[in-house]
A and B are shown apart, each in its own frame.
Chain A
Amino acid sequence: NAGVTQTPKFRVLKTGQSMTLLCAQDMNHEYMYWYRQDPGMGLRLIHYSVGEGTTAKGEVPDGYNVSRLKKQNFLLGLESAAPSQTSVYFCASSSKTGELFFGEGSRLTVL
Chain B
Amino acid sequence: DQQVKQNSPSLSVQEGRISILNCDYTNSMFDYFLWYKKYPAEGPTFLISISSIKDKNEDGRFTVFLNKSAKHLSLHIVPSQPGDSAVYFCAAPGNQFYFGTGTSLTVIP
Contact = CB atoms under 8 A, between A and B. Distances in A.
B42 A42 contact: no
B43 A42 contact: no
A43 B89 contact: yes
B100 A42 contact: yes
A42 B101 CA distance: 4
B89 A42 contact: yes
Given A33-B96, A100-B91, A41 B101 contact: yes
A35 B96 CA distance: 11
Interface stretch (B44-52, B66-74, B78-86): B44-52
Contacts of B16: none
Given A42-B89, A43-B99, A45-B97, A100 B42 contact: no
A104 B101 contact: no
18 contacts: A33-B96, A33-B97, A35-B99, A40-B9, A42-B6, A43-B99, A43-B102, A45-B97, A48-B96, A90-B43, A92-B43, A92-B97, A94-B97, A99-B49, A100-B97, A102-B36, A102-B43, A103-B43
B64 interface: no
A100 B32 CA distance: 13
B29 interface: no
Contacts of A101: 46
B53 interface: no
Given A43-B89, A99-B34, A100-B91, A58 B44 contact: no
Contacts of B36: 100, 102
